[in-house]
Amino acid sequence: MCNLHRMLSNQEAIRSITRAMIDSTGNMEPITEIWPDYMAPIVRNTPAGRELTNVRWGLPSSSQAIYQAAAKRADGLRKKSKEVDIQQLLKMEPDGGTTNVRNVESKHWKRWQSVEFRCVVPVTSFAEPDPANKPEGGRTPNAWFAADPSCPLMFFAGIWVPQWESVRKVKEGLTVNGLYGFLTTEPNGIVQPVHQKAMPVILTTSDEVKTWLTAPWEEARKPQRPLRDDQLILLQPEPVAA
């Protein structure tokens, strides 16, 4: 599950490939580390046209996951003989967000299949924890992947959700955010030795981006497959910003 990526390209390159006519990002600087719950650039469909903008990473978690967490909290309160308002607990249950989407046909995700909720996430490299190379007593390093050593621009196939009210962090309380996440699929031969379960769905051409953003669902979801092995490399050493 990819929970870290970099975007070292520029606005002009993103707009050129995605045909984004609106740019709401201002003066967008290269981003060396994009973590869950960070603001990051996406290109999304809007009534006014395709837009490059910044959105918070982490889609709404399922109602079942929120209910289970709130129910556990309620049980703890009852053990302390405290009154429980389960509806209020559900409303205020923190949800850091779901970063990756695998089963796009689940009931939770199907409501966001249409083109108005599709987006692409510009990225130049992404990371997976690499336990096999963890030094004794040290932290687990990241293995970084890119299209080639120059880390050219590519895109994750994503979903975004507008104006979602939730508690992202307890200290923030209820907030309203635009949120995004991206699709995953089984890993290819480059990623699999590091992460056996999944890799992001990666789009590398303008045509693939256009299909994901505009095509009927059954056609759009065809790119939910691993990138060919010859389209991705394991970077050595870790990339750094220029």
149-199 residue pLDDT tens: 999 999 999 999 999 998 888 888 889 999 999 999 999 999 999 999 999
Same domain, 87 and 160: no
Whether the per-residue pLDDT at 241 is higher than 60: the answer is no
Same domain, 89 and 167: no
| Residue 47 counted as domain residue | yes
pTM: 0.88
Question: 49: which residues sit within 8 A by CB, 6+ positions away?
Answer: 20, 21, 22
- For residue 211, is it within any domain? yes
Show the domain range for 65. Answer: 61-94
Shared domain check, 150 and 197 = yes
Quick one: pLDDT band at residue 79, thresholds 50, 70, 90? Answer: confident
> What is the rounded average pLDDT of the residues 5-27?
96
In a domain, 14, yes or no: yes
| CATH classification of the domain holding 45 | 3.90.1680.20
Which residues, in sequence order, are CB contacts of 115 under 8 Å at separation 6+?
Answer: 45, 213, 214, 220
- Kindly state whether residues 201 and 226 are assigned to the same domain: yes
Inside any domain, residue 241? no
Indicate whether 158 and 137 sit together in one domain: yes
Name the strands in the sheet holding 142-146, side by side, starting at the edge strand that comes first in the sequence. Answer: 31-34, 5-7, 125-129, 142-146, 233-234
Does residue 242 form part of some domain?
A: no
Q: Which residue has the tokens 């870790």?
A: 238
Structural contact between residues 123 and 14, judged by C-beta atoms closer than 8 angstroms: no
Out of 70, 94, 118, pick the residue that ends a domain.
94
Do residues 79 and 190 both lie within one domain?
Answer: no
Do 87 and 29 belong together in one domain?
no
Residue that terminates a domain, selected from 37, 72, 94? 94
Q: What mean pLDDT comes out for the span 70-97? A: 75
148 and 200: one domain? yes
Query: Domain check: are 24 and 34 in the same one?
Result: yes
What is the CB-side half-sphere exposure of residue 40 using CA atoms within 13 A?
Answer: 32
Q: Please tell me whether residues 212 and 111 are part of one structural domain.
A: yes
Q: Are 38 and 90 in the same domain? A: no
Say yes or no: 22 and 88 in one domain.
no
- Greater pLDDT, 239 or 233: 233
Exposed (0-12), middle (13-18) or buried (19+): which is 52, by Cβ within 10 Å?
buried
Residue 85's pLDDT is 72
Q: Examine residue 82 and state whether it is found in any structural domain, yes or no.
A: yes
The count of structural domains within the chain is 2
Of 73, 94, 115, the position where a domain reaches its end is: 94
Alpha carbon distance 125, 146 (integer Å): 5
187 part of a folded domain: yes
Q: What is the rounded CA–CA span in Å between residue 114 and residue 197?
A: 27
Residue 240: the pLDDT is 44
Whether residue 19 is contained in a domain is answered as yes
